[in-house]
Amino acid sequence: MLAELAPEHSRTRLVAWIKAGEVRVDGEVVERPSQAVAAHAVVEFAPPPEEHRSGGTHAISILLDDPDFAVVDKPAGVICHPSEAVRGGTVSEQAEALFGPLPDPHGDEDDEPGARRPGIVHRLDARTTGVLLVAKTEAAAEHLVAQFAARTVSKTYVAIAFGAPRFLSDWIETPIGRDGRHGDRMAVVREGEGRSAETFYEVRERYDGCALLDVRPRTGRTHQIRVHLESIDLPLVGDPLYRGRLRHRGLPAGAPTIDRQALHAARLEFDHPRTGVRVVAEAPLPADMQNLVDWLRVHAPAGR
């Protein structure tokens, strides 16, 4: 019933209101989200003041600035777009402050109800760094979204993973769906379940207990690279969710710390939405990952 009265709010938010005692039926406080409501009952609710968390405190960097789009370098900890719970500092909000109002491409099945995505045609996890494409016009947004849907956009990531890759390069082609036991995780699922996903990886350098990889996902599923690499026992260094089934011993003593998954969107190739010319954008490896790579090369070479 409450979802029908307040469709602009997510079910999670409505349940929180009920548990906070903010919803009444015929004058009585509702105690359970599943409570039945009789016909003609009077439903009253007073939403508590909105509390938002910040979408990021670090500034995006502009890699390319075109009348139709911009390519930015997203720092770690910056969320792509605002939502019911997130306001301020997101890529969308920073981009609108720089370029003015941006088009709002329609969301997908992973969006929260009420979320806006000004300028955002694809996304990166909050703690993943690197190249992100922002549309400035409606026509550009439509064209760029279509390119991602048609898989004509080429994406290259750099990752630091625990473990010893069995091959110099390989394709991972297993479907991905929601983890039935952990709602905040995705997982490799059985054939016929979830959504198809394809990831190519190539070993750039090997170290003692970990490796530097180039990763090229052909599809764009939620947490795809993290899930696929974990599934072959190559979990990303610093990943808080996808730690792998094997107990990797961790980084060697003395190695620089990294407090996020070691994943960086290094290169993006797409067709210019107006001219059709192929555009290539690259973002340098961020300092936390570069410092770790430099240390591993010196102190933990492969075979030690």
Active site residues: 125
User: Are 81 and 114 in contact, with CB atoms under 8 Å apart?
Assistant: no
Q: Which amino acid is at 107?
A: G
d(CA 85, CA 22): 18
User: Are 119 and 92 in contact, with CB atoms under 8 Å apart?
Assistant: yes
Helices marked H in 151-271 — which ranges? 224-231
Pairing between strand 176-178 and 210-217? unpaired
CA 127 to chain centre: 8
Q: Which residues contact 184 (CB under 8 A, 6 or more apart)?
A: 241
Q: What is the CA radius of gyration of the chain?
A: 22
